[in-house]
A and B are shown apart, each in its own frame.
Chain A
Amino acid sequence: MASTMTAIQTVTVGTNSPTSISFTSIPQTYTDLVVKLSARNPNPSTGNTIELRFNSDTSNRSERRLIGNGSTASSTSSASQISLTVVGGNATSSTFGNLEIYIPNYTASVNKSVSIDQVTENNATAATAALGAGLWSSTSAITSITIITTDSTFSQYSTATLYGVFNSATESKPDTPTIGMAGSTSSTSAVVAFVPAGTGGTAASYVATSTPGSLTGVCSTSPITVSGLTSGTSYTFTVAAQNPGGISGQSAASNSVTPGTGNYVSLASYSVTAAGGDSSISFSNIPSGYQRLQLRITNMATATGSNKMTFNGDTGNNYRWWQSIGNGTTTSAANSAGLVGYTQPIHNASTSHPSGTIIDIANYSDGNKIKNSISYNASNINTSNTGDSSIRAGLWNSLAPITSITFAQQSGNIGQYSIYELYGIVG
């Protein structure tokens, strides 16, 4: 049993009185086809027979028909055509006959059998119902369908629509995507990032749904924008993938988002709780839609030295930094190029006191710009003054939009009680 039906083409007859209605260049991506026809012709006969042709073939057709008009029934057959019937000019004015043609497995290398059911109104006193079984004895895939009358024309407003049908047993629905970060971009909208499953059927689109309210947004790639939210209300979002084969399960819920009047949006926060610290911290699936990102970091280290920041998992020689640093006694400046994966934004001169750092990354999602960052670092001041104040500019030589940021210490771990927070700033 078919699970979805999609309109492919519609033909509506104007004043040109055509003798045929055609569908050409039929996509080969469906399982079955359906044609729904509503038609009339000016021929005064009570009913007019027209033909059905596939791929312009005028041969290789046969049919059996069962016809009833409310008083008599008859059955006919033909070894040369597949017949359809529409109302003629004697029928009550503005009345059109309606029929449906079902063509299963139209791309398969088998002979093509079709079923036809139709009704016509002849003259306000009678109607005809007909059921037909047709056969096109050809194993070719159907690429065109022609409905043609050989002794009349189609009247204005006759309409035919071609539908493609997916059989759910053939088309696999996509698997459930993985939720990413969500954040507000205005007082009434939010962006929701996600990662496609990569398994299951190919997703045609993705839908984000809010809780509460069940407001939705649709897109073909991450992130999804959901609009119509209420300022001051907290929302979470789930994401599902869909294609004609069906809809995946819902992802896990996103982080909570409260659209408001501000343009400084909290996206994610991570606190190190393990006594031995964490080897790295990552923010992944960062949504686009903000003018820039800001990180506010309190860093404790299990060993002295610098913290490194990388983007999108790039550990190539694609980073550079410049710094000015004062340790309370002397000042210095330095730079380094062609680094393997770090920009050294955070420095801990002691393991006993935290450093405070603010990192600004402008144009992080702009695919036309190399990525720059600036970090202000206040490094663990203590009674013996083993800290420093510094400004560091970093460069990641890539045009790719930043979708993930990873931090790790050059030596040891990111220590317990470290807190890393990511904000999006709306332009």
Chain B
Amino acid sequence: MGAPTYELITTGTGTSVTFTSIPQTYTHLVIAYRGNFSSTNDQFAIRFNNDTGNNYSDNSLAGNGSTVGSGYDTGTNAIYCGFVANTNDNACELSIFNYTNTNLNKQLLNKFGSTATQVSIDAGLWRSTAAINRIDCFVYPTSHSFGASSRFDLYGIKGA
């Protein structure tokens, strides 16, 4: 049976998730997340290749049905996206473009929904041209965590 263009690579569950030894055979990656957070005002954080240097930045556009806001972070040690307005039933589709391309810094686009309470779109940048072979998903602040039943599906998308 043939491999599809959009393919599930692996699934992780738990209070934080790390994907390692990511195959370098795709063009893009997508992380589909659904689950809970331990507190409101938490953020979904993502880090590449275990780079803990201040090599990340992000901005977001969020709306809660009555107001709209935008925020940003620069010179951080992870990309912070998906602002949690309700601890339960959050979901996101997080796209990582051209993750193996060594000519480009790595760009991220996240569509995040928080229990029909808030929706946001987030842009993230990792200022590194290295191919991504590891992804850490965790909660910011780091003293907090995902709910134990949170699920993270890592997909690979092949290009032509």
Instruction: Tell me the complex Cα distance, A327–B57, Å.
Output: 13
Judging by beta carbons under 8 Å apart, are A385 and B72 in contact?
yes
Report the contact-size class of chain B (Cβ under 8 Å from the partner).
Answer: 35 or more
Judging by beta carbons under 8 Å apart, are B61 and A390 in contact?
yes
CB contacts (< 8 Å) of A353 on chain B: these are 105, 107, 125
Judging by beta carbons under 8 Å apart, are A324 and B97 in contact?
no
A220 beta carbon closer than 8 Å to chain B: no
Instruction: Tell me the complex Cα distance, A267–B95, Å.
Output: 19
Report the contact-size class of chain A (Cβ under 8 Å from the partner).
Answer: 35 or more
CB contacts (< 8 Å) of A358 on chain B: these are 95, 109
B21 beta carbon closer than 8 Å to chain A: no
CB contacts (< 8 Å) of B101 on chain A: these are 298, 417, 419
Given contacts A233-B2, A419-B98, are A354 and B107 in contact (CB under 8 A)? yes
Judging by beta carbons under 8 Å apart, are A269 and B121 in contact?
no
Judging by beta carbons under 8 Å apart, are A231 and B4 in contact?
no
Q: In the complex, which residues 89-120 of chain B have their Cβ closer than 8 Å to any Cβ of chain A? A: 95, 97-98, 101, 103-105, 107-111, 120
Judging by beta carbons under 8 Å apart, are B57 and A382 in contact?
yes
A244 beta carbon closer than 8 Å to chain B: no
A378 beta carbon closer than 8 Å to chain B: yes
Q: In the complex, which residues 109-160 of chain B have their Cβ closer than 8 Å to any Cβ of chain A? A: 109-111, 120-125, 127, 157-160
CB contacts (< 8 Å) of B68 on chain A: these are 324, 326, 331
Judging by beta carbons under 8 Å apart, are A330 and B70 in contact?
yes
Q: In the complex, which residues 362-421 of chain A have their Cβ closer than 8 Å to any Cβ of chain B? A: 376-385, 387-391, 417, 419, 421
Question: Majority SS of interface residues in chain B?
Answer: strand
CB contacts (< 8 Å) of B103 on chain A: these are 417
B65 beta carbon closer than 8 Å to chain A: no
Query: B109 touches which one: A325, A328, A376 (CB < 8 A)?
Result: A376
Judging by beta carbons under 8 Å apart, are B1 and A328 in contact?
no
Judging by beta carbons under 8 Å apart, are B2 and A423 in contact?
no
Residue among B27, B69, B72, B122 with max Cβ neighbours from chain A (10 Å): B72
CB contacts (< 8 Å) of B63 on chain A: these are 324
Instruction: Tell me the complex Cα distance, A382–B4, Å.
Output: 35
Judging by beta carbons under 8 Å apart, are A261 and B61 in contact?
no
A161 beta carbon closer than 8 Å to chain B: no
Judging by beta carbons under 8 Å apart, are A389 and B160 in contact?
no
Chain B: minimal CB distance from A319 (Å): 22
B31 beta carbon closer than 8 Å to chain A: no
CB contacts (< 8 Å) of A187 on chain B: these are 1-2
Q: Name 11 interchain pairs, CB-CB below 8 A, sorted by A.
A: A259-B2, A262-B7, A264-B157, A269-B159, A296-B28, A326-B62, A326-B69, A327-B72, A378-B109, A378-B122, A381-B125
Write the residues of chain B forming the contact surface with A, with a CB cutoff of 8 angstroms: 1-7, 27-28, 57-63, 68-72, 74-75, 95, 97-98, 101, 103-105, 107-111, 120-125, 127, 157-160
